[in-house]
């Protein structure tokens, strides 16, 4: 029996409690359930157009199928797996399971999985379960992360701090603004999901609805197929081989890669601010930061997030490149790969929880931030030379360069002494002396 101590993957082991919300979608049970949903809804849709099925239109069989879709259980899934031991085919096993449910209607049994290939079932089941997981679990948790960043940005919107470009002291900025940069980037990318269709395939063995049309040539199967896929809140790809080309799935994966990269950028910056002591971590009673150094409070939540985001990206990038390629009309090299589609999203879930946990631990360290600002008066040299340019002062950049690169520490007093020696009007000197590392911050939108 798999437990958190015996599971091979930490997704189901160490982090199992965090990822269990994805189990109804990406587990073997979830896939079987969604295959059953597709097959049941497909048969119900056929009842409306095939004369051979009209006699069951007003029977309890429709209600039975709809009820079974809602209450489909682990025991039901286990029955399917038991059937698979004989059939050695996972989709066929769902069909046989449905036949057992409808055993009282022998003629109608032949219309279960009518004219479909296995990928038709999977080509609708997989995007449907991914869509539901995305909407019900993944995005809501991501939005919690986004909200935690917005709260921090609002709390620290007026905290002036020394910026770092190339790791070196640079023109001052606001801690809140720097976090809002990530918020805006993430909002832009999450909105991109709205442009990516949830694509599905329904077209038979080679995509041309051959079996459908040979049996019932007078039915507009293309319209039926498009409308049926739409009833699942998916979008049918009309021209395919045996499989959905997965280009939109690749776009979905790439979108998460971009979001994950932004989050990696964020957690690395937070890690850096903790290292600079601009942010402090609140110690939690009982927690151990190091096995040998009791004083340490390590930024492990942000480090764990970075590791899981990177692992997720490696898989997402593989999906995007692998699942869009298939030899001729079909090969099975994608089948074993696509079974793992929930794994990178589980690692995203783990990283989101780590970020949320880490954000609750950090607080601003104004003493250190102000100390760094006071130790770096040189950063307002940009402001001084810009005003001197306005005043027509000759070669202001070189004048400031000579002052700031002497190797000696620039202080408020030494900077004001430099200003006093400038050949400019007294009002300009006063204007220059009003500039400090705390007010040279520009304007934030």
- Which residues are catalytic, by number? 166, 290
H helix or E strand, kind and range, residue 161: strand 160-165
Report d(CA 172, CA 160) in Å as an integer: 7
Report d(CA 406, CA 421) in Å as an integer: 17
Report d(CA 312, CA 258) in Å as an integer: 11
Angle, alpha carbons 195-200-203 (nearest 5°): 140
Could you tell me if 100 and 80 are in contact, meaning their C-beta atoms sit under 8 angstroms apart? no
- Termini Cα distance of the chain: 56
Could you tell me if 245 and 239 are in contact, meaning their C-beta atoms sit under 8 angstroms apart? no
List CB contacts of 218: < 8 A, sequence separation 6 or more: none
Q: Which of 254, 241, 179 has its CA nearest to residue 210?
A: 241
Could you tell me if 57 and 47 are in contact, meaning their C-beta atoms sit under 8 angstroms apart? yes
Four-point Cα dihedral 176, 177, 180, 182, nearest 10: -110
Task: Report the phi/psi class of residue 172: left, alpha or beta, with left for phi > 0 and alpha for psi in -120 to 50.
Answer: beta
Q: Which of 273, 436, 267 has its CA nearest to residue 369?
A: 273
Give 273-333 as a DSSP string: HHHTTSEEEPP-TT--S-SS-TT----HHHHHHHHHHHHHHHHHHHHHHHTT--STT--GG
Q: Which residue matches tokens 């290939």?
A: 117
Report d(CA 254, CA 317) in Å as an integer: 7
Q: Which of 380, 389, 395, 392 has its CA nearest to residue 432?
A: 380
Report d(CA 365, CA 159) in Å as an integer: 10
Report d(CA 356, CA 193) in Å as an integer: 22
Report d(CA 177, CA 163) in Å as an integer: 11
């Amino acid at each position: 029996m798999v437990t958190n101590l015996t599971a091979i993957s930490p997704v189901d082991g160490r982090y199992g409690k965090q990822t269990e919300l994805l189990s109804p979608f990406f587990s073997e049970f979830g896939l079987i359930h969604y295959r059953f949903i597709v097959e049941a809804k497909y048969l119900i849709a056929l009842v409306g157009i095939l004369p051979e099925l009209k006699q069951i239109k007003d029977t309890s069989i429709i209600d039975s199928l709809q009820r079974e879709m809602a209450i489909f259980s682990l025991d039901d899934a286990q029955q399917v797996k038991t059937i698979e031991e004989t059939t050695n085919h996972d989709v066929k096993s769902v069909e046989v399971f449905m036949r057992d449910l409808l055993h009282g209607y022998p003629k109608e049994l032949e219309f279960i999985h009518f004219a479909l290939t296995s990928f038709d079932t999977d080509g609708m089941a997989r995007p449907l379960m991914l869509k539901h997981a995305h909407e019900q679990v993944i995005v809501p948790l991501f939005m919690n992360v986004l909200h935690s960043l917005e709260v921090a940005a609002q709390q620290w919107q007026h905290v002036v701090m020394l910026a770092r470009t190339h790791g070196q002291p640079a023109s001052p900025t606001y801690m809140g603004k720097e976090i809002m940069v990530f918020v805006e980037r993430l909002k832009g990318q999450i909105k991109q999901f709205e442009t990516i269709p949830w694509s599905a395939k329904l077209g038979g063995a080679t995509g041309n609805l051959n079996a459908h049309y040979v049996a019932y040539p007078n039915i507009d199967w293309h319209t039926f197929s498009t409308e049926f896929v739409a009833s699942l809140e998916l979008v049918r790809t009309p021209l395919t081989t045996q499989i959905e080309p997965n280009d939109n799935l690749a776009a979905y994966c790439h979108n998460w890669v971009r979001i994950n990269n932004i989050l990696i950028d964020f957690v690395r910056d937070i890690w850096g601010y903790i290292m600079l002591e601009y942010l402090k971590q609140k110690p939690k009673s009982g927690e151990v930061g190091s096995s040998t150094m009791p004083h340490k409070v390590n930024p492990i939540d942000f480090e764990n997030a970075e590791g899981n985001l990177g692992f997720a990206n490696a898989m997402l990038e593989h999906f995007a490149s692998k699942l869009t390629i298939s030899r001729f009309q079909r090969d099975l090299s994608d089948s074993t790969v696509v079974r793992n589609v929930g794994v990178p999203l589980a690692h995203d879930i783990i990283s989101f929880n780590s970020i949320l946990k880490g954000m609750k631990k950090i607080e601003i360290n104004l003493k250190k931030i102000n100390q760094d600002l006071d130790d770096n008066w040189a950063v307002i040299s940009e402001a001084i030379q810009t005003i001197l340019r306005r005043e027509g002062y000759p070669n202001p950049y070189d004048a400031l360069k000579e002052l700031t690169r002497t190797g000696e520490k620039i202080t408020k007093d030494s900077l004001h002494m430099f200003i006093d020696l400038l050949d400019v009007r007294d009002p300009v000197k006063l204007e220059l002396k009003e500039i400090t590392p705390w007010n040279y911050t520009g304007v934030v939108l």
